[in-house]
């Protein structure tokens, strides 16, 4: 991929605005602009819903189009064509102060609001920077996350540009007292805790403390065997969990197969089969599936939710069923019930023939004109 090697620039963004009733314009600094990283290493920044080019301060695309920047670059002819467009615009606008004053700082252009002087941008334990609110309590400088300044959920102290959590859900009195108790300051306390962990082969050395103290290599060396032991424990725990899962799966499978076998045996003996739940599945619906009998989706729902049992009616000499009174009767289930009974009987015949050494499957008791479509509605 081609990239543009950008010159040094400041962290202040400027937008080029054309003056009214004039052919020329001027650069205007914008405070709430955000740098826009991209795969082409173009100096772009976002401001009020648009994306601007850094050297010219001219609008390039809308922020909504940014997700498809690669397509936009391709449509204008690639990086070289983009560079040419920028060079042509520079003849009109001149170079942005972002480049002509590369050492300029935002606070030089935008003096801090007195109300925001207590807002600090610092790195936390997660390695990311956050906004913190500075306040003083009992002569101790403390911080809390900016969005928590009303109730001080977490309280921090600053050390070497990092924010160290010093109290959570604790009273400010206790936190201030604790900080005052650090004889040589917070950094010395961090070093004491870090050294204490290095002296204990079983204790994890805090990488965050190591980074503050500049002792990352020591922490890595100390933590390596601890990490290996923990990973071994995790592997063993995972293996035990997998063994339990397989055992439970096999037990569930055996229970399921036994339930199907028992239900089939009851059908062969003309006994009633209750539509019990077998691992959150309808037993009778599973019988249809086990015997590859296609049942319409609507009827499947009725079997699962409404059917109570199937049973042999001695008076009518045929299989029948019962359903829950809160449900409506099925108009087609009677058409599929004989297919299930027949399939169970056919399976029994085939198993007997297999046991006798005859590998030929039994012939279905259908006429030549009948087929699966004739049997289903």
- Of the candidates 121, 94, 117, 72, which has an alpha carbon nearest to the alpha carbon of residue 14? 94
pLDDT at 367: 40
Assigned domain for 81 exists: yes
- Could you tell me if 95 and 191 lie in one domain? no
- Could you tell me if 275 and 368 lie in one domain? yes
Assigned domain for 6 exists: no
- Could you tell me if 101 and 130 lie in one domain? no
Give 4's pLDDT tier (boundaries 50, 70, 90).
very low
- Could you tell me if 332 and 350 lie in one domain? yes
Give 125's pLDDT tier (boundaries 50, 70, 90).
confident
Residue 138 and residue 162: Cα distance in Å, rounded? 22
Assigned domain for 184 exists: yes
- Could you tell me if 125 and 203 lie in one domain? yes
* Both tokens assigned to 2: 């081609």
Residue where a domain stops, chosen among 88, 108, 128: 108
pLDDT at 113: 63
- Could you tell me if 91 and 125 lie in one domain? no
Assigned domain for 258 exists: no
Assigned domain for 282 exists: yes
Strand partners, 25: 18
- Could you tell me if 61 and 99 lie in one domain? yes
pLDDT at 109: 86
pLDDT at 160: 86
The count of structural domains within the chain is 3
- Of the candidates 10, 50, 47, which has an alpha carbon nearest to the alpha carbon of residue 31? 47
Q: Convert the pLDDT of each residue in 39-54 to its tens digit.
A: 888 999 999 999 999 9
- Of the candidates 82, 89, 101, which has an alpha carbon nearest to the alpha carbon of residue 43? 82
Query: How far from 163 is each of 41, 128, 134, 150, 207, CA to CA, in Å?
Result: 32, 11, 11, 19, 14
pLDDT at 328: 93
Assigned domain for 41 exists: yes
Query: How far from 337 is each of 129, 306, 343, 375, CA to CA, in Å?
Result: 68, 15, 10, 11
- Could you tell me if 80 and 121 lie in one domain? no
Give the residue numbers spanning the domain of 155.
114-213
> What is the percentage of the chain residues whose pLDDT exceeds 70?
88
Predicted TM-score (pTM) of the model is 0.46
Give 377's pLDDT tier (boundaries 50, 70, 90).
very low
Residue 209 and residue 193: Cα distance in Å, rounded? 9
Assigned domain for 338 exists: yes
Residue where a domain stops, chosen among 108, 126, 146: 108
Residue range 298-305: mean pLDDT, rounded: 95
Residue where a domain stops, chosen among 108, 139, 156: 108
Residue 115 pLDDT greater than 70, yes or no: no
Assigned domain for 301 exists: yes
- Could you tell me if 283 and 368 lie in one domain? yes
């Amino acid at each position: 991929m081609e990239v543009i090697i950008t010159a040094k620039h400041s962290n202040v963004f400027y937008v080029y605005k054309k003056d009214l009733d004039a052919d020329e314009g001027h650069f205007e600094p914008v405070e709430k602009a955000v740098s826009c990283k991209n795969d082409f290493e173009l100096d772009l920044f976002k401001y009020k819903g648009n994306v601007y080019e850094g050297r010219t301060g001219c609008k390039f695309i809308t922020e909504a189009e940014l997700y498809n920047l690669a397509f936009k670059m391709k449509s204008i002819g690639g990086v070289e064509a983009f560079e040419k467009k920028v060079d042509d615009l520079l003849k009109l606008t001149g170079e942005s102060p972002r480049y002509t004053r590369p050492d300029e700082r935002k606070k030089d252009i935008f003096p801090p609001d007195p109300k925001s002087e207590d807002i600090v941008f610092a790195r936390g334990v997660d390695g990311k920077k956050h906004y913190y609110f500075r306040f003083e309590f009992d002569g101790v400088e403390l911080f809390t996350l900016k969005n928590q300044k009303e109730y001080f959920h977490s309280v921090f102290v600053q050390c070497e540009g990092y924010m160290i959590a010093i109290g959570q859900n604790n009273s400010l009195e206790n936190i201030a007292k604790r900080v005052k108790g650090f004889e040589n300051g917070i950094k010395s306390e961090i070093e004491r805790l870090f050294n204490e962990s290095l002296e204990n082969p079983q204790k994890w050395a805090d990488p965050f403390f190591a980074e503050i103290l500049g002792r990352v290599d020591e922490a890595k060396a100390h933590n390596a065997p601890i990490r290996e032991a923990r990973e071994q424990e995790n592997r063993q725990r995972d293996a035990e969990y997998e063994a339990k899962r397989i055992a439970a799966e096999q037990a569930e499978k055996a229970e399921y197969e036994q339930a199907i076998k028992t239900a089939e045996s009851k059908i062969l003996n003309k006994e009633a089969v209750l539509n019990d739940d077998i691992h959150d599945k309808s037993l009778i619906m599973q019988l249809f599936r086990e015997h590859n009998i296609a049942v319409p989706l609507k009827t499947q729902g009725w079997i699962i939710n409404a059917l109570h049992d199937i049973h042999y009616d001695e008076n009518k000499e045929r299989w029948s069923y019962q359903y829950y009174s809160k449900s409506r009767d099925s108009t087609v289930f009677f058409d599929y019930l004989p297919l299930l009974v027949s399939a169970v009987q056919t399976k029994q015949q085939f198993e007997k023939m297999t046991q006798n050494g005859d590998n030929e499957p039994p012939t279905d008791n259908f006429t030549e004109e009948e087929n699966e479509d004739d049997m289903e509605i």
